[in-house]
C-alpha cells in the first residue's frame, strides 16, 4: 500500500491526533506498555477474567519472554498480523502471508496459536479463503455495532471516532445476532463496538461513562442470549481499569449466569457444540427425543408443561436436566421450515440451537414459518423475534 493511499484513508486530522496519543501512551521505550499489560492481566485475574491480547508477530519476536509471561499468567495471545497493517488494502496472498508469518513467529517463541484478529478488523472473505486450512481455529473480525451511545451521541465525535467506524465496517445489532458462526472452516467470533478508542479518544468519555456504555451492551446481549465480545486496546488498559471492574462485577450478578471466557475457549466450545444432535423417534405415546451432547450443554424447552426433570432458566424457558424427553406427537415441538428454505436461514437457526423440521411433517410443528413469512423476515433479529413470540 502506498503512503499516499494510507494517508488518504485516514486523513491529516486522524494521523496527527493518533500520532500524538501513541507517543504519549507508549513513549520511545517499552517500559510503559509492559507495565500496563502486566497490570491489566493481574487486575482482570482478580475478578475471574483472563483476556485475549491480539498481538503482532513482530512484537512477539521482539519481546517473546514477556509475551510468554502473559500467556503463563492466563492470557491468550492471538495473532494480529506480523506488522500492524490494514490487510484489507493488500492482495489476499500478501495479506495472508502477514498472518502466516505471524503464526510462525508465535510458534518459534513458544506462543500457542488459536486464532487471529486483523488490525482495524481488516479481514474479508478473500483473505479467509487464501489462508491455509487448519492454520487458525477462529477468526474474530466481524464488528457488530451496539447502539448504546450516551445522550450526546455522535455530536461530540472526533475524527478518530468516525475514522475507526469506517475501518471497522460494523453490522448493526438491530439486525444481526451477536453469536459465533462457522466461516471458511473457522469459528467467527464477532466483536462488539464501540470500543475503548472510540469511546475515550473519539467521544472523550471517562471511565464511568465508558462503563455505562459497556453495561448497556452487556445487558442487551444478555437479554438476547448473545455474546458480548468487548474489544479494548492495551494502551487504554489503565484508564479503563475501573470500567473493567464495574462490568465484570455486573456480569457476575446477572442470571442466567454469564460465562467469562477467552476467545480460544469460546472457539473450542462452539466446535464442541456443533457436534451436538437430537435423535427423534416415534413411540406409542408420541415422540421420544434423545440428545447427543456433552455435560456442558444446556438443553432448553418451553411450552411443554412440567416433566419433573427441569428447572426454570429464563422467561418461559426451562432447563432440561436429562438428555431424554418424551413429548406429544402433535403439534411437533420444533420449528418447521419449507423444504426449499434458504440454506443460510436453516444454518443460522441450527446455529442458534433450534431443532428444525424441514420435511413432510414441517407444517405440523408448533411453529411453522412459511415461505412468504420467511421473505418478510429480512434480518436475523426479526427471524429470532418471530420464533420467540410464537406460542
d(CA 200, CA 202): 6
Is 58 strand, coil or helix? helix
For 3-268, CATH gives 3.20.20.370
Give yes or no for residue 309 having a pLDDT over 90: no
Give yes or no for residue 31 having a pLDDT over 70: yes
d(CA 331, CA 300): 18
Q: Are strands 299-301 and 76-79 parallel, antiparallel or unpaired?
A: unpaired
d(CA 102, CA 97): 8
d(CA 132, CA 349): 29
Is 309 strand, coil or helix? coil
Confidence at residue 312, expressed as pLDDT on a 0 to 100 scale: 87
Contact status, residue 38 vs residue 27, Cβ threshold 8 Å = no
pLDDT band for position 325 (50/70/90)?
very high
pLDDT band for position 334 (50/70/90)?
very high
Mean pLDDT of 66-92: 97
Task: Please give the grid coordinates belonging to residue 133.
Answer: 486450512
Q: Are strands 310-314 and 324-327 parallel, antiparallel or unpaired?
A: unpaired
Q: Nearest 5°: CA angle at 200, between 198 and 203?
A: 70
Confidence at residue 306, expressed as pLDDT on a 0 to 100 scale: 61
Contact status, residue 192 vs residue 230, Cβ threshold 8 Å = yes
Of 85, 91, 66, 205, the closest CA to residue 148 belongs to 205
Give the predicted TM-score (pTM) of the model. Answer: 0.93
- Domain chopping of the chain, boundaries: 3-268, 294-389
Question: Grid coordinates 496472498 are at which residue?
Answer: 93
d(CA 11, CA 16): 9
Mean pLDDT of 220-227: 97
Of 238, 196, 220, 173, the closest CA to residue 381 belongs to 173
d(CA 372, CA 359): 18
Contact status, residue 290 vs residue 279, Cβ threshold 8 Å = yes
Q: Which residues contact 27 (CB under 8 A, 6 or more apart)?
A: none
Return the sign of the alpha-carbon dihedral for residues 88, 148, 207, 162.
positive
Among 87-96, 158-167, 213-222, whose mean pLDDT is lowest? Answer: 158-167
Q: What is the pLDDT of residues 230-246, one digit of tens each?
A: 999 999 999 999 999 99
Of 383, 325, 315, the closest CA to residue 354 belongs to 383
Distances (CA, A) of 138 to 26, 35, 112: 29, 29, 13
pLDDT band for position 390 (50/70/90)?
confident
Give yes or no for residue 308 having a pLDDT over 80: no
Q: What is the pLDDT of residues 310-319, one digit of tens each?
A: 688 988 899 9
Amino acid at each position: 500500500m502506498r503512503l499516499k493511499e494510507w494517508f488518504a484513508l485516514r486523513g491529516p486530522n486522524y494521523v496527527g491526533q493518533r500520532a500524538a496519543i501513541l507517543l504519549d501512551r507508549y513513549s520511545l521505550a517499552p517500559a510503559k506498555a509492559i507495565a500496563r499489560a502486566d497490570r491489566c492481566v493481574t487486575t482482570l485475574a482478580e475478578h475471574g477474567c483472563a483476556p485475549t491480547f491480539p498481538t503482532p508477530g513482530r512484537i512477539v519476536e521482539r519481546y517473546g519472554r514477556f509475551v510468554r509471561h502473559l500467556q503463563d499468567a492466563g492470557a491468550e495471545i492471538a495473532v494480529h498480523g506480523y506488522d500492524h497493517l490494514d490487510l484489507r488494502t493488500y492482495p489476499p496472498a500478501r495479506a495472508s502471508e502477514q498472518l502466516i508469518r505471524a503464526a510462525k513467529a508465535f510458534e518459534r517463541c513458544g506462543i500457542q496459536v488459536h486464532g487471529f484478529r486483523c488490525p482495524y478488523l481488516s479481514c474479508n472473505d478473500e483473505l479467509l479463503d487464501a489462508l491455509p486450512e487448519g492454520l487458525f481455529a477462529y477468526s474474530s473480525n466481524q464488528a457488530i455495532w451496539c447502539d448504546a451511545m450516551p445522550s450526546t451521541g455522535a455530536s461530540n465525535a472526533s475524527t478518530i471516532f468516525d475514522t475507526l467506524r469506517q475501518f471497522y465496517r460494523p453490522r448493526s445489532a438491530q439486525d444481526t445476532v451477536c453469536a459465533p458462526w462457522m466461516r471458511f472452516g473457522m469459528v467467527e467470533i464477532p466483536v462488539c463496538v464501540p470500543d475503548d478508542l472510540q469511546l475515550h479518544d473519539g467521544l472523550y468519555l471517562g471511565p464511568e461513562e465508558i462503563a455505562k456504555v459497556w453495561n448497556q451492551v452487556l445487558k442487551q446481549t444478555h437479554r438476547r442470549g448473545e455474546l458480548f465480545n468487548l474489544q479494548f486496546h492495551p494502551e487504554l488498559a489503565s484508564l479503563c481499569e475501573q470500567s473493567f471492574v464495574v462490568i465484570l462485577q455486573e456480569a457476575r450478578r446477572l442470571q442466567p449466569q454469564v460465562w467469562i471466557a477467552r476467545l480460544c475457549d469460546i472457539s473450542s466450545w462452539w466446535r464442541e457444540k456443533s457436534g451436538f444432535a437430537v435423535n427423534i423417534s416415534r413411540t406409542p405415546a408420541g415422540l421420544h427425543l434423545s440428545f447427543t451432547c456433552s455435560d456442558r450443554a444446556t438443553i432448553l424447552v418451553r411450552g411443554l408443561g412440567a416433566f419433573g426433570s427441569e428447572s426454570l432458566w429464563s422467561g418461559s424457558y426451562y432447563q432440561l436436566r436429562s438428555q431424554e424427553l418424551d413429548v406429544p406427537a402433535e403439534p411437533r415441538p420444533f420449528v418447521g421450515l419449507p423444504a426449499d428454505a434458504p440454506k443460510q436461514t436453516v444454518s443460522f437457526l441450527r446455529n442458534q440451537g433450534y431443532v428444525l423440521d424441514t420435511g413432510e411433517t414441517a407444517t405440523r410443528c408448533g411453529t411453522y414459518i412459511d415461505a412468504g413469512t420467511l421473505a418478510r423476515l429480512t434480518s436475523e433479529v426479526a427471524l429470532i423475534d418471530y420464533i420467540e413470540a410464537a406460542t
